[in-house]
Amino acid sequence: MIIGAGVSGIGSAIKLREAGFNDLHIVEKSDSFGGTWHDNSYPGASCDVPAHLYSLSFAPNPNWSVHYAGQPEILAHFQKVAEDHHLPDITSFGTEIASAVWDHDNAEWTLRTTTGDTIVADVVISGLGQLNRPNIPDIEGLGSFRGTTFHSARWNHEHDLTGKHVAVIGTGASAIQFVPEVAKQVDHLDLYQRSPNWVLPRVNPPYGQARKWAFRHVPGVRWLHRAAIWAKFEWLVGPVFNSGGVSNKKATEAATKFLTESVPDEKLRARLLPDYPIGCTRILGSSSWYPALQQPNVEVITSGISRIVADGIIDSDGRHRRVDTIIFGTGFRTTEFLSPIDFRGRDGQSIHDSWGDGAEAHMGTTASGFPNLFMLYGPNTNLGHNSIIFMIEQQLRYIVGLLEKMRKLGLVALEPRPEAQASYNEWVQEQMKKRVWVADCSSWYKNDSGKVVNNWPTSTVKYWRRCRKPDFDSYIGYRPPS
Ligand code: NAP
């Protein structure tokens, strides 16, 4: 059973089938393939990782129109991949899982949907990822607001913003993409910024016909292009995230120069300059962000929100601004992995309770006490410098390797040894100390106690090497009862 029909779910089904695991089913709560690219349809949505790398290596697309593809093109691509592999035949849309309980005697998971239906599965693969639950902050008075509100990942396309007075809360990776588009449409935009971000320019040249032809017809050209992008991100961008390193210093200089050249107004510039090391939050790429913030109809508000009232927002200085619409660009509940599904493991324990000190998994994929559960884009697998799809593919290789071994040995279940999981996570957190994510900044990579639970702490090469051959010794295998 695969939960989620995003990139992880699509990739899982293709790779499992390839390995001869044909009794597969995908459940998806929405009505379409695409996951995050289905959810995030806000104006200006695009991927800040080049499309030739942000795609499954075994389901490539030689026809990307530009380097950084927009959401409609990415969504159409993944929907086509799903269709080409006949995944609609094994997918139930509009089906949301509420709970999953492991029955150790029968070595199976019983999943219950939100409508009360029951599904039994030998193996559960979660393709829920880290960015699927919108975060709407609990701001005083929100319930009393009489206008329209929505989150960037649930964009209200029926709501016409033309001529409206709009407030946007949040200035992260999503807001930086939709604010320049929204600013063109609205009468006035109040942008509530809690922390500024480090921003670098982004150019997005189209691929010409000749290059696309070469990608389609000349063997190796597309692959080389993909490999070159991956290598550039790995070896040029990766070192930026080393605390106090030369690359971090150079990136800070480049981003500061970009801000200085883009924003002549000293007062505004001071408010847009972060006071934490670059990379601590996601480094954003946009050449339209700073120009948008300087439009006459845009106001950047940094005094904080005191409360929301029926017709607007009152800031911490007590100033009331009337608004028709509030758009939350406030990110996702990223540290609550697998939520809201109530997973119960071998001894009936809840996975969320077992993660009291912060989610952790063995290889970011399996969890002790929860046999036959595999998490794609699980704890400590997110990247700041490369394509998450590269990581998902390594996880798929790892999972398929484990399942093949189980099949060969006639095992019905397996789970990581607690000591293996513990020592793996000690290593992860030890490596993390060298990275800039542990610095003092507000980021979705950390849980409430400040532990970085989302990011992989080192190079993708290291993850690739660890996943190539599953560490079967780290696992307890269960045989069928005799
Ligand atoms: P985000 O980066 O977590 O940004 C959330 C924003 O909301 C931050 O500015 C945050 O301020 C603010 N915020 C949160 N709670 C608030 C509150 N109570 N009051 C005021 N402000 C509040 O979320 P996101 O922009 O949706 O992006 C999340 C992730 O999605 C990205 O990092 C990226 O991995 C992914 N994404 C990727 C792309 C892409 O191109 N590949 C595009 C969009 C998103 P603070 O900074 O002070 O916490």
pLDDT tens by residue, 394-422: 999 999 999 999 999 999 999 999 999 99
pLDDT reading at 121 higher than 90: yes
Q: Is 64 in the pocket of ligand 1 (CB under 6 A)?
A: no
Tokens of 438: 């542990």
3-class DSSP assignment, residue 461 = helix
DSSP 397: H
Cβ neighbours for 61, distance < 8 A, ≥ 6 positions apart: 51, 52, 55, 77
pLDDT tens by residue, 7-49: 999 999 999 999 999 999 999 999 999 999 999 999 999 999 9
pLDDT reading at 296 higher than 90: yes
Measured CA to CA, the distance from residue 433 to residue 49 in angstroms comes to 26
Q: Is 282 in the pocket of ligand 1 (CB under 6 A)?
A: yes
Which atom of ligand 1 is nearest to 173's Cα?
25
pLDDT tens by residue, 164-211: 999 999 999 999 999 999 999 999 999 999 999 999 999 999 999 999
Q: Report CA(131)–ligand 1 centroid distance (Å).
A: 10
Q: Which of 40, 207, 203, 196 has its CA nearest to residue 132?
A: 40
pLDDT reading at 145 higher than 80: yes
* Element counts in the chain: helices (H) and strands (E): 13, 21
Beta strand 413-416 with 284-285 is unpaired
The pLDDT confidence band at residue 335, using thresholds 50, 70 and 90, is very high
Residue 479: count of CB within 10 angstroms of its CB: 11
Cα separations in angstroms, 93 against 27, 113, 383, 414, 437: 6, 12, 29, 29, 37
pLDDT reading at 122 higher than 80: yes
Q: Which domains can be identified in the chain, with CATH numbers? A: 2-133+333-478 (3.50.50.60), 142-203+229-328 (3.50.50.60)
Beta strand 312-315 with 284-285 is unpaired
Q: Is 383 in the pocket of ligand 1 (CB under 6 A)?
A: no
Tokens of 262: 């883009």
pLDDT tens by residue, 242-254: 999 999 999 999 9
Choose which residue among 138, 139, 151, 330 to substitute to test ligand 1 binding: the one with the highest number of ligand atoms within 8 A of its C-beta.
330
Which atom of ligand 1 is nearest to 328's Cα?
7
The pLDDT confidence band at residue 303, using thresholds 50, 70 and 90, is very high
pLDDT at position 114 is 97
Cα separations in angstroms, 309 against 145, 164, 323: 6, 17, 10
Measured CA to CA, the distance from residue 437 to residue 365 in angstroms comes to 21
Q: Report CA(174)–ligand 1 centroid distance (Å).
A: 6
pLDDT at position 165 is 98
pLDDT at position 357 is 87
Ligand 1 atom 39 nearest Cα: 47
Q: Is 50 in the pocket of ligand 1 (CB under 6 A)?
A: no
- Can you give the pTM of this predicted structure? 0.97
Q: Report CA(172)–ligand 1 centroid distance (Å).
A: 4
- Percent of the chain exceeding pLDDT 90 equals 99
When pLDDT is averaged across residues 320-341 and rounded to a whole number, the result is: 96
pLDDT tens by residue, 224-278: 999 999 999 999 999 999 999 999 999 999 999 999 999 999 999 999 999 999 9
Tokens 């800031």 belong to residue: 315
When pLDDT is averaged across residues 64-88 and rounded to a whole number, the result is: 98
Say if residues 453 and 359 touch (Cβ distance below 8 Å): yes
The pLDDT confidence band at residue 334, using thresholds 50, 70 and 90, is very high
The pLDDT confidence band at residue 474, using thresholds 50, 70 and 90, is very high
Which atom of ligand 1 is nearest to 175's Cα?
25
pLDDT at position 481 is 81
Tokens of 34: 């695409």
pLDDT reading at 284 higher than 90: yes
When pLDDT is averaged across residues 472-478 and rounded to a whole number, the result is: 98
**What's the mean pLDDT when you consider all of the chain?**
97
Choose which residue among 7, 174, 326 to substitute to test ligand 1 binding: the one with the highest number of ligand atoms within 8 A of its C-beta.
174
pLDDT tens by residue, 349-385: 999 999 988 999 999 999 999 999 999 999 999 999 9
Which atom of ligand 1 is nearest to 48's Cα?
40
pLDDT at position 252 is 98
Q: Is 137 in the pocket of ligand 1 (CB under 6 A)?
A: yes
pLDDT at position 93 is 98
Q: Is 172 in the pocket of ligand 1 (CB under 6 A)?
A: yes
Burial of 247 (0-12, 13-18, 19+ CB in 10 A): middle
Q: Is 255 in the pocket of ligand 1 (CB under 6 A)?
A: no
pLDDT reading at 482 higher than 80: no
When pLDDT is averaged across residues 331-345 and rounded to a whole number, the result is: 95
Tokens 């942008």 belong to residue: 191
